Structure 1
């Protein structure tokens, strides 16, 4: 069995880590889906990672659109970068794409739809033979419960949605849209957005030989 604990949109607010200490300490892997900082770089990212490492040193992470590009380089140097990469742990393959599709706000790390497709494909190629596949994409798939902003518009990525339908990962962990905490499905893929970490939610994925479960959990 493999237990993954995941959250994103940390934005340097790590006060709730202690509230999920039991899950952090018993997880096989901690996955950070993006936006570790508020338009900051390596120094602030290291603070977030060091805080998590007090509970569990097994971490994979990727930058989000609110992280400076140097965060991507730093995570690569640390050997834990999910962006455009893939890792296999026994029967489980995990791959990712950070940054985000273009926004109206011109945030530090936005990439094109074509780049999103390219990075996801690169990561998937490294895990394609795994029995179970977990996709971690900071930008949510379009037209789901996980990509709705306050005015009701769906602002996710069509590329991400198409990728899920074509490659059928078992789970997609996403974020980016803080107000769109939700669990949904695209085809047979479970899609989860835990929203901002400081709002008190995170994701638990349990995978064994025969099944996968993925749920939103509250720190309360």
Structure 2
């Protein structure tokens, strides 16, 4: 399919952004969207190094914290005008993005975990800021529960709040991450749910716009 515009979706960078420059067509993309986990318990300096590397590949970057990033990273992304956590952005005329970072609680006590219902509240906050769009990209670091994108072994560990939001709102595409071993493309109703896995392992997504139709392809280097 020939796109009018496309964006590169990545996540779970964990301080190792080297592969971003190797993504085919990254420089020509309309931007790069980072679903979360820029660092591993890292602060602003670590996050800045990641964002700088992504900007060298493509100057247009939107990003949010994952559960492994500190609150200071979230504040820095806001100060830089990059944050999509609890926010809405217009990507193109009639096409928008809503975002929610962090994650629901994990067994590991990572820096930016919140109650699952808080993820739902942040999604509603973002939706309230959204325009009347023909197509919507949801960027949720924590994948929707009960999909191929949230499996650890045979157990689904994703967010029930994100799942409920996807079922109700039916965004065209949901870019997620968080569960490294669950690199997958799945559907919840008409919503394509993609988890590219870790960037260091070569995973990325191409989110394409043709007319007012938004689609996604899962890719690996």
The TM-score normalised by the length of structure 1 is: 0.96
1:191 aligns with 2:193: yes
SS in structure 2 of the partner of residue 105 of structure 1: coil
Distance in 2, Cα, partners of 1:41 & 1:95? 24
Q: How big is the alpha-carbon RMSD for the aligned residues of Structure 1 and Structure 2?
A: 1.0
Q: 1:14 Cα deviation (Å)?
A: 1.6
| Residue pair 2:145, 2:159 contacting (<8 A) in 1 also | yes
Task: Tell me how far 1:80 sits from its aligned partner.
Answer: 1.0
CA distance in 2, matches of 1:128, 1:169: 13
Aligned equivalent of 1:6, options 9, 23, 41: 9
Map 1:27-176 → 2, pairs under 5 A: 27-88=29-90, 89-150=92-153, 152-176=154-178
Question: Displacement of 1:210 after TM fit?
Answer: 4.2
TM superposition shift of 1:17:
2.1
Once residues 152 and 57 of structure 2 are traced to their aligned partners in structure 1, the CA distance between those partners, rounded to angstroms, is 33
Instruction: Spell out, residue by residue over 1:30-55, the C-alpha distance to the aligned partner (whole angstroms, 9 max, x if none).
Output: 10000000101110000001011112
1:128 positional shift: 4.1
Between the aligned partners of 2:115 and 2:197, the Cα distance in structure 1 is 23
2:94·2:212 contact (CA, 8 Å) conserved in 1?
no
Change (3 A) 1:127 1:2: farther
Query: Relative to 1, partners in 2 of residues 1:121 and 1:73: Cα closer, same or farther, differing over 3 Å?
Result: same
Gaps of 5+ in 1: none
**Is the CA contact 2:36–2:102 (under 8 Å) kept in the aligned structure 1?**
yes
CA distance in 1, matches of 2:54, 2:212: 30
Distance 2:89 2:209 in 1: 15
Alpha-carbon displacement from aligned partner over 1:190-220 (angstroms, at most 9, x marks no partner): 000001111111000111224222011111x
Q: How many residues align?
A: 217
- Do residues 15 (structure 1) and 37 (structure 2) align? no
- Normalised by the length of structure 2, the TM-score is 0.95
In structure 2, list runs of 5 or more residues that go unmatched.
none
